Each structure stands twice: as C-alpha cells, then as structure tokens.
Structure 1
C-alpha cells in the first residue's frame, strides 16, 4: 500500500504555467501508477509570499516559502523541481545537487553552454552519491511518441534517412503583444529556438535514437520592440512600465536549420511563434528505407505509420490510435479510445523519475542529454551569426 512506501519530499521552485503543470503531475502520478516511492508535495517557492501561499493552496502543496536557498538546505526536502526562467536554472540546480537533493529541471537546461556544462558535471558527480538529475523534455512521454521510438528501434521503418521536425505557435504574432521574460535574452537565453525548438531537437533525437552532429541555421526577429506590460513597474523588461512605453525584443521570433545526424540521416528543423493559426503544432516525420512515421501534437493520440514493403495497390499511411493497454504508459489510464491530454506527459515524467530514483539509476533525459541539446542550440545561433555550418561537440 502507498502508506508503507518511503516518502519522497518534493519542493517546487516557481508556480506559473510550468509550475501548475508539474503540480498536477505530482498530485496525479501516485494515484494512477504503482510507484515505489510516495511523492509528497511539501513546499512551493515563489518570490512573493502572498502569491506563493495562494499557489500552495490552489495547486496542492503543503506549504510555501520565498527563499529557494533556505528550502534547498532543508533536511525535510528530498527533490527540487525547478520551474523558473532559464537564467535561474544553473544556480538552483547546482545548489540543490550539492545539498544532496534529486533535481528535475525544466528545459532548456540552461541559457548557455557553459552553464549547462557545469550543471552536467555537477550532476555526474552527484550521481556517484546516488543523487539523480533529469531535464524535463516531456513530449518524449506522449504515448504516440514513445511508440514511434519503439517502432524505429524494432526496425519497422528500416534505416532512418530523413527527419522533419517543426514546432509552430502563434502567441506573439500580434506586434502589440506585450514584452514578457520569454522575449528577453538575459532571462530566456533565446526565443523560439530554445523555448520550443529545443523540444523539436530532443524529440527528433529521441525517436531516431541518433544525435545531431552538424547544423546550418538562420534566426529571425520580426518584431524588434513591444509594449512594456503595465505590471512591469520595476522596468525589468526594457522600461519602467509607463503607458505607451516600448522595450526591445532581444531574442529570435523564428529559427530554421538544416542538420546532419551521426548515423548519416539529414534533417530540417523549424521553430516559430509567428505561425498564425498554429497553437501548439509540434510535428515530426521520420522517413526510413522501409517506411515512415509521422506525429503531430495537435492530434496527440495518433501516430501515422507507412509500411513501404506493402504492395503499391494497398500501401498508405496507417492511422494508429495510441490508446491501447499495450501502448507506452496507457495501461494506467482509461479504456481504449479514450484519449490522453497535454498534462499526461508531465505525469509520465514523474513516474519515470520516481522509478529511476528508487532503482538507483539515472533518469532520462539526463543533464548530459540536456547539455547536448544546449550545444545544438548554440551551434544554430552561431551558424546564423556566421552563415557557416557548425559542428556539434560530442
């Protein structure tokens, strides 16, 4: 029974969009999956005491705090879940690992390669003491994506030759949409490239089981300044928040790049927050010597499979509804045909993390995996600046 299992006391830093998604996962995972440890939502951390307490009550945390350093040092915390902007990831994660806490860190791992390298090195040392670290690329845990990886591993599409990965959104297509931290390079590291392009990179590498080794890219900023939000009274995003004031956009709005995989396949990648009409279209197509796979998150319970070995007269993409008990993660949920949603990937992330911690193994993706994605992002940025192909360090 759950109450006889060892507890895993969780502290979460940050309680906005990602904090809400992570909170739902911590609440739900132990109720639908037979976990070896019992996660306890112990404390949530925010900069403002009142908002942090409101978040604790609303999201299901036992308590709240305003000082993450104090929380990381507490003896009654076993795991730190980092849901803050990218510029804070390295400091919090490194401190938590040094204090012997397991860490779950939102993607991208950091804002720079140097930060990610330090985080990966600290995580590797901590693993020697049984302390685990994972980066949150949750789309890996969509059942249709996990099935796609399985089919590639089984050789169902033969040798992978070509990959197309795009992530399309439109939430800042309006030039009068206000500045946010995601449009500030100091806080976010990059724009569409790191915010959503990182997901496309990880998804492509995860499904193919191969890594990118070379890229040629282009970044574009369509709207170079925006209104400063009325609530930005401190002027943290380019101004003092006065009526009519505008501030600079210092990140990319769209990123495009060509890529080569270690195994010889080629790829094309696109990430944009200006694709009007597209809300969360993360799409992946993998073409192999014996078939193809296609996935679109806006139809997330479906995987398309083309078997090139079938006769031409009957060949065609097969629509697989990934809701059967034999599909990855699905047996814990609903009867076949009753689809899952965005939040379930976060729940599966908690499941995999808790099981790895209990087993004494590294959860995936590791900080080393996050570092590799960070190197891809940096190479794309460098390529755009120099108009040259860039190699990705192994």
Structure 2
C-alpha cells in the first residue's frame, strides 16, 4: 500500500520476476488477472512474467495457459518448482496440497504466494510458518492471499484505525454470507470434503473475515466461543474427473441408475463470538446458506471516538462516523474511496471511477513484487496465516463442545 512508484527504467535494469502458478480454476483465473495486469498499471521495480501454469489435465491446463496468458504448462507441480525459469510459485490449489507445495517451493529457493486458508491444520501451518521464517533469512518472501486487505476502502479503514480516528476499539462485527449451497441437489464437490478443504464455510469464508477483522483492528483475537452446523449432510456424487468420486453406472437394462450420494464432512455455517487482546468484543458469521446473498461481506468497527463500516457489495465506499462531532449534525457519512491519495489508487482512474473485485489481485501482485524486490517481509505473512489457522481451530474446538442441541418446546 504506500510504496513509492518506480520508473520503467528501474524495472528494465533488474531481472524479471518469473511466476509459476499451480492451479487454474477460479482463483487461478483471478491470480492470472493480477499478474497479467499489474505491470501495465503500476510502475514496478521488477517486471512479472507469466512463465508457466500447472494442472493435472494436460489439455485443460494448456487451454488455461493460452486463455490467461501463461507461456508454458506443466502437469506436475514438482516439475514446475524444478524449473530454472521460475522465481515465484503461486499456489491456487485446494487446501490439502498447500503445505506440500509451499514447503517444496521454499526449499527450492522460490518465493511463495499461497491462497487462503494457509493450510488444513494448525500443524501444517506451523511447519509452513517455520519454513517461511527460515527462507526469509535467505532473502525469500512468503505471502498468504487474503485479497480483501487489498480493497482500497479496507486499506483506508486500516489507516484510519492506526491513526486513532476510532479511539479505543470496543466492538467488531463481521458477516460473510453466500447462498451457493442452498440447493440440496448441488453436488459433493471438493469444498464439501474435509480431507480436501479442511473445513467448510469456516475455512472458506471464515478465514477471510478473521484475517480482515484482525487486520483492521490491528490486534489478534485471544479467545472464541462458537457454533457450527451442517444443514445438508448428504449430496449427489459428481461425475466430473479428478474428484475421486463417480456416479452410479447405468443398469444392464439401460434404466436410469438410482442417484448415489456422499457424506458432507464439513460445516455449512459458523457463528462465533470473540475477544481481542485489548478486551474489545467481536462477532462473526460465515455461511453458504444465506438465501439471496451471493458474496456479502460486511464489517463494522466501533470505538470510543468513532466507527467505520464497509460492505463488499459497495466496495468503493467506506462509511465513517466521527463521534467527536456535535450530535446535531453528526452521523455516518460516505467516503467515496476513489481519490489518488487513497491506498492503491494513484495509478488508476480519475476520482469517482470505481474499481472492482479483480483489482484486489492486481494490488496483491503489486505488494508482492515490491516485497520481493526489497527483500523484506510480505504481509499477510505465513505467520499471519498461522494465526488465522489457530483461530479457526479454536472455533472448531469450541463448536464441538457446544454441539449438543436439545430442542425445547415453547
């Protein structure tokens, strides 16, 4: 967020930053957009080069490489890491492979960007954080992909909190609501299997809001109390290749087979409260069952001097209440976060011309290129990812203790 602009001449005098990406689905497409665009918008100390992308299906990964602008394609991530023309490995795979790929990449001397959540377990995250710290001493950089830190409005909110505009923090309340699992006929994809995803809405959405809350507050959670629920416990098995699951074969007579189902082994929703080290209280909700909500992330912070509120569905706006103003004309006011003095916006459009979701990945790439060039730490670091992983584990532990539910007639 505040790095000085570099001249094009500076980028030309340094070697390019050659990126290899593992995974090419939703996050792979978003990361590709960031890497492909960042050097065309920001003046960078090193020019990113999309060297190669990796996926298990040779035809599909080659098509993705052509579509997204990657020069090469690999079908084994080990071969990608072994390439001499790769400086940085970008991991956009399901959580069960994060640790293995990241550890191998760091051991091979590569910089690493790893999608969130950092890992599927605290033990994996601890090993990754130790490896990243050792690699940092060798000049390597390791970052976690919590892209919502890179929304200009949330970066501005962090700046305002750090400047004391809210005073002593009292409350943080945050919700991340989606609805893509409402249909019980939706298939049992990898996100619904614990061995691949680690957890459900908690890891998928909860990781984002835990990190964002701690980032904006400028402090970590010290304790939580939680409830989780799985609303649909069995779903149809997908037929697509690569899932490890198959639909039932046709019968000898050609009749339609009975639908086969598999167990959902993750949570569908998580609700938890928390307390920061300072004593400030927090509440969190993460669900993929909020009918009508597609990607609704909302956060509000209340302090002794003021409050801030952000809604991802209006991501160019930040709402601020200055509690020191006279009550006769005080109230929440909208800050349109499009000014060149706002975070990340010095290189974009004239004031009033808003940005979108994809720009968070451009900003992520910018910050990572600067971190690599400067040889320092990148934020959020693997240590930050480990902290989030510990909170998620504490939520699951608390929810397990609170799992006994006895309906009471009213």
Residue in 1 that maps onto 2:18? 9
- What do residues 130-167 of structure 1 show as CA deviations (whole Å, max 9, x unaligned)? 11100000000100000000000111111100000110
Please give the secondary structure, in 2, of the residue aligned with 1:364: coil
Partner Cα separation in structure 2 for residue 193 and residue 375 of structure 1: 12
Residue in 1 that maps onto 2:408? none
User: Which of 375, 378, 386 in structure 1 is aligned with 2:390?
Assistant: 375
Structural RMSD (CA): 1.2
Query: What is the deviation of 1:74?
Result: 1.6
Residue in 2 that maps onto 1:339? 354
Please give the secondary structure, in 1, of the residue aligned with 2:262: strand
Given the alignment of the two structures, is residue 298 of structure 1 paired with residue 313 of structure 2, yes or no? Answer: yes
Structure 2 stretches of 5 or more lacking a match? Answer: 1-7, 250-256, 404-410
Given the alignment of the two structures, is residue 217 of structure 1 paired with residue 226 of structure 2, yes or no? Answer: yes
Residue in 2 that maps onto 1:312? 327
Query: Whose Rg is larger?
Result: 2
Q: Mark the CA change 1:235 to 1:359 in structure 2 (over 3 Å): closer, same or farther.
A: closer
Partner Cα separation in structure 2 for residue 152 and residue 164 of structure 1: 15
Please give the secondary structure, in 1, of the residue aligned with 2:175: strand
Q: TM-score, length-normalised on structure 1?
A: 0.96
Please give the secondary structure, in 1, of the residue aligned with 2:204: helix
User: Which of 77, 84, 87 in structure 2 is aligned with 1:68?
Assistant: 77
- What do residues 310-340 of structure 1 show as CA deviations (whole Å, max 9, x unaligned)? 1111111001110000100011111111110
User: Does the Cα contact within 8 Å between 1:235 and 1:241 map onto a contact in 2?
Assistant: no
User: Does the Cα contact within 8 Å between 2:32 and 2:68 map onto a contact in 1?
Assistant: yes
Please give the secondary structure, in 2, of the residue aligned with 1:342: coil
- 1:38-49 correspondence runs (5 A): 38-49=47-58
Partner Cα separation in structure 2 for residue 22 and residue 231 of structure 1: 24
Residue in 2 that maps onto 1:259? 274
Given the alignment of the two structures, is residue 174 of structure 1 paired with residue 189 of structure 2, yes or no? Answer: no
Across the two proteins, how many residue pairs are aligned to each other?
Answer: 386
Structure 1 stretches of 5 or more lacking a match? Answer: 389-394
Given the alignment of the two structures, is residue 129 of structure 1 paired with residue 150 of structure 2, yes or no? Answer: no
Query: What is the deviation of 1:241?
Result: 5.3
- 1:1-394 correspondence runs (5 A): 1=8, 2-232=11-241, 236-237=244-245, 239-240=246-247, 242=249, 244-387=259-402
Partner Cα separation in structure 1 for residue 85 and residue 323 of structure 2: 56
